Amino acid sequence: MRTKSLFLSVSILLSALTSCNANAWTDLTPDQFEKVYIADGTVTIDVRSADEYAEGHLYHAINIDWQKDGFIDEISSLFHKEMTLAIYCRSGKRSAAAAQALSDAGYKVLNLKGGYTAWAEAGKISNTYQVECIADKGKNDPLLVTLIKHGSLEFSYKGLSIQIDPVTGYGKNTDYAKEFPKADAILITHEHGDHLDKDAILALSKNGTKVIMNEKSHQQTGLGEVLANGQRVGLAGGIAVEAYPAYNTTPGREQFHPKGNGNGYHLHFWGTLNAYVAGDTEDIPELADIRNNNQHRVTVAFLPVNQPYTMTVDQCVKATEMIKPEILIPYHFGQTDISGLPDLLPDTKVLLRDMQ
């Protein structure tokens, strides 16, 4: 499994380079950094400004600006001391200062020598998409969510990559072959062109990639295995996926997404960490089962707010109240004005992101 090999690579590098001091930080070349920065137990942090980060960054790196107040406090609120922090800046100067401070705070730190400049010159994977860090309550790896566009997401967990509805050309163009590594799993909610792209699936696939989709997507592409509403499947790393219904209920809209066809996916990671991706649906009664059938509260939910094809804002509020996630990230919202959702859901952390 890739997770185990990456973990071993991290262990070997850390033991070889930091054997004299458990908290020492280590400079790594781009080639060395590439082997360990997405390993189980490691999180990657871009310590540059938000503007620099938006211009391009390492795949799945989160952005925490070293030069802003509260840097160490923010790190401490997200990551326990058993994690390894892989950090970088533009050329290595800011990240070296940050590495020293983090090492002094008790973290194991890997620093990218030469920074993003050296990484780009070496032709390594990078992209421009925002990454959200969904921290676990316990001593566990966080879930890293790359917000690609519209209905397309990527989950990175313990060195594993799960792509959801990857589409190359809808809205902004995404070159999956260059901007992302090969996926360990690909989940397709349904067969519409803004969710199903055979070329993107093939670009992300490798030997062993598990491709899960609804029946009509399978019929169109000839790829993957079918998961119907109510079924469950296991992925690498002990991750479990359940398929929930996704359909329209408003009179006159049923033809957009008929009942029994599309999937929403509930992904169970380790411990209490889990995520729900609704696909194209309205506030159907089955959404209450997501909360009722699970021991733990949903950590993060992705709900579509794209009337008339999916939910209205009011329906999104009702759906959120049924699921009761800790975090809501509206997605697939097109031209719908979602700016009022945080005020309408005071008991839920609502993150408004660029996911039209």
Integer CA distances (angstroms), 55 to 15, 49, 90, 116, in order: 34, 10, 11, 11
The residues spanned by each domain of the chain are: 2-126, 137-350
Query: Which two structure tokens, joined as six digits, stand for 148?
Result: 């690609």
Residue 282 identity (one-letter amino acid): E
* DSSP 3-state of 9: helix
Q: Which of 72, 67, 74 is nearest to 133 (CA)?
A: 74
Cis peptide leading into 304, omega within 30 of 0?
no
Mean pLDDT computed over every residue of the chain: 93
pLDDT band with cut points at 50, 70 and 90 for residue 17: very low
Residue 109 identity (one-letter amino acid): V
Q: CATH class for domain 137-350? A: alpha beta
Given a contact cutoff of 8 angstroms between Cβ atoms, the answer to whether 141 and 130 are in contact is: no
d(CA 292, CA 299): 14
Residue 1 identity (one-letter amino acid): M
Tens of pLDDT along 267-323? 999 889 999 999 999 999 999 999 988 888 999 999 999 989 999 999 999 999 999
Tens of pLDDT along 75-125? 999 999 999 999 999 999 999 999 999 999 999 999 999 999 999 999 999
What's the CATH number for 2-126?
Answer: 3.40.250.10
Tens of pLDDT along 121-156? 999 999 999 999 998 866 789 999 999 999 999 999
Contacts of residue 63, defined as CB under 8 A and 6 or more positions apart, other chains included, come to: 45, 46, 48, 50, 53, 57, 131
pTM score, whole prediction: 0.93
pLDDT of residue 288: 96
